[in-house]
Amino acid sequence: MERSAGVSKFRVAACSTPPRFRVLKQVIKPVTKYIESAKEEIDLLRRMNKADNYEYSPTYIESFYYRDYFVIVTSLHGDSLYRSIKNYNPNGFPLPIVRVIAKDIITAVHVMHTKAGMAHTDLKVALAYAGTPSQH
């Protein structure tokens, strides 16, 4: 079973939910600069996987070409935080949930900085996932 996980200028993402595990497939448009950027993203993801022991970042599974398109497959930690916020009641999340989400995001950014030596320069809810590693 698959559903759209989002569309951007240079990629289309789809979630697969086979019986054993959930994956995110990102299909990169066949434009050299987009594919090069995607390959840099893979390098960063591998560094983060090694630094956080797969706890806060999606696990890089594989990448390949399909026709002219470049495809990246990663684990899926949960649903998009943006989608969860959009689908939640109009009053927003209860404060205890907000605290957990904030703590997890801050911890992930801290691990990224201190263990992987990286800085996240594009932090936004569309890039965060509502869920725990035990859910994937």
CATH of the domain at 40: 1.10.510.10
H or E stretch at 57: none
**What percentage of the chain has pLDDT greater than the value 90?**
19
- Quick check: 53 pLDDT over 90? no
- pTM equals 0.71
The residue range of the domain holding 129 is 2-135
Which is more confident, 125 or 32? 32
Measured over the CA atoms of residue 49, residue 51, residue 35 and residue 135, the dihedral's sign is positive
Looking at residue 108, its pLDDT comes to 83
Lowest-confidence range among 13-17, 70-74, 114-118? Answer: 13-17
Range of weakest confidence among 16-25, 33-42, 67-76, 77-86: 16-25
Structure tokens of 129? Answer: 């996932």
Q: Which two tokens stand for residue 45?
A: 């993801």
Q: What are phi and psi of 42, to 5 degrees?
A: -65, -45
The total domain count for the chain is: 1
Above 60 in pLDDT, residue 19?
no
d(CA 123, CA 109): 9
pLDDT category of residue 63 using cuts at 50, 70 and 90: very high
pLDDT of residue 64: 95
Work out the percent of the chain whose per-residue pLDDT is above 70: 75
- Please provide the average confidence, as pLDDT, over all residues in the chain: 79
Tens digits of residue pLDDT in 76-134: 777 777 777 777 766 778 888 888 888 888 888 888 888 888 888 877 776 777 664 43
Asked if pLDDT for residue 136 goes beyond 50, the answer is no
Q: Residue 69 corresponds to which tokens in the numbers above?
A: 């398109």
Q: Give dist(CA 134, CA 117) in Å, integer.
A: 25
